[in-house]
Amino acid sequence: MKWFSWKRKKKTPYGDDYPDSIPYVGSKGGRRKFIPVKPPQKYYLPFSVLKSTNNVFKTYANRRAEAYAWWAGYIVNGDMAQICTVLYPNIKTRYGHIHLDRQILGSMHRRLIDLDQILLVELHTHPPGAGGQNDVDAANSTLFYEGFKAIVVPDFGLPNFYDLRRCHVYSYIGSSRWHEMDVYEISNCFVIDKTCSEVKPK
């Protein structure tokens, strides 16, 4: 039976690597983004975006450095937010410090325009023991509209950025004040959607 072994060892013509970029840019038709007129009550988060954000955070965690990201998307039916994309700046950060200058923030906003999306949630990681939002974080958010969400991820997101209930999630309530959401509020606000689901015959 050894002479059949070549069939088992034969490589397929298809590689295992999947491209990192989309295959083409389609016509967007009408614009889908607009500024919310009232705070979103629900945020629909694809599991693939959550997993991609974890990959970004791990890249920085391996260097013992903080990471920063945006969740972007659009508003549906006035009070529901659909998250589509994670954006992150390709910058050097260090332990306990992130500096975002006008140039990189301008580039990120231009990317939002290209994607026809808006910034929905701001995220960054903290070193072990640093806790949640500090005064600098609270005063330097990218946006300050009622209901805007900011997430501080402890321990550089290690071992995995997976469960939002294990993070510090804040909602802006106005007058430079933030409300830290509890576990119930987080699970009720963020709906994580599966992006791949096997269906077996009964």
Q: Give the tens place of pLDDT for each residue, 50-74.
A: 999 999 999 999 999 999 999 999 9
Q: Can you give the pLDDT at residue 10?
A: 55
Domains present along the chain, CATH in parentheses: 31-193 (3.40.140.10)
Of 18, 132, 149, which is closest to residue 83 (Cα–Cα)?
149
Pair 66, 93: CB distance under 8 Å? yes
Q: What is the pLDDT of residue 6?
A: 47
Mean pLDDT of 102-116: 91
Q: In the predicted model, is pLDDT for residue 21 greater than 90?
A: no
Provide, rounded to the nearest whole percent, the portion of the chain with pLDDT above 90: 55
Output the pLDDT for position 9: 53
Starting from the edge strand earliest in sequence, which strands make up the sheet with 68-76, in order? 177-180, 168-174, 149-153, 118-125, 68-76, 80-87, 42-46, 190-193
According to the model, what pLDDT value does residue 11 have? 58
Residue 108's pLDDT is what? Answer: 93
Question: In terms of Cα–Cα distance, which of 135, 126, 180, 129 is closest to 153?
Answer: 126
Query: Distance from CA of residue 73 to its chain's centroid?
Result: 10
Residue 8 makes CB contacts below 8 A (sequence gap 6+) with none
Other C-beta atoms closer than 10 Å to the C-beta of 79 total 14
Closest CA to 157 of 46, 43, 52: 52
CA distances from 121 to 20, 69, 81, 87, 118 (A): 23, 9, 10, 11, 9
Average pLDDT over residues 155-179: 94
Residue 20 confidence (pLDDT) above 60? yes
Which pLDDT does position 30 carry in this prediction? 61
Determine the average pLDDT of the residues in 24-48: 80
pLDDT for position 23: 87
CA dist., res. 67 & res. 69, Å (int): 7
Which residue, 79, 26, 87, 82, is CA-closest to 53? 87
At 175, list the tokens. 């007058």
How confident is residue 100, by pLDDT bands cut at 50, 70 and 90? confident
